[in-house]
Structure 1
């Protein structure tokens, strides 16, 4: 049974038109700073005994 998926040995597999736009969007999201509320939450998760509930 033949497959339309590119094989690992294939060369010059064309990228879909939307691939560059998706990569740009991903890069902008990754570069966004982490909100302070998330930083606070991560700090609490790193030190669960510091809140006195353990």
Structure 2
């Protein structure tokens, strides 16, 4: 965005995009909660049990 002609750092859309990117980056660095990982494991097991045996 900042590289496009006519955009400025003071442009509200540029500031919003920058803040959203920073927020996403911060969330991306957070560890995955153990309870969520446990739920994913249970789902994997349930899917494996539900598959027809060949």
TM over 0.5: yes
TM-score normalised by the chain length of structure 2 = 0.59
**What value does the CA root-mean-square deviation take over the aligned residues?**
1.9
What runs of 5+ residues in structure 1 fail to find an aligned partner? 1-10, 50-54
TM-score normalised by the chain length of structure 1 = 0.59
Bigger share in helix: 2
Aligned length: 39
Runs of 4+ in 1 over 2 A off after TM superposition: none
Q: 1 or 2 for the larger relative contact order (CA 8 Å, sep ≥6)?
A: 2
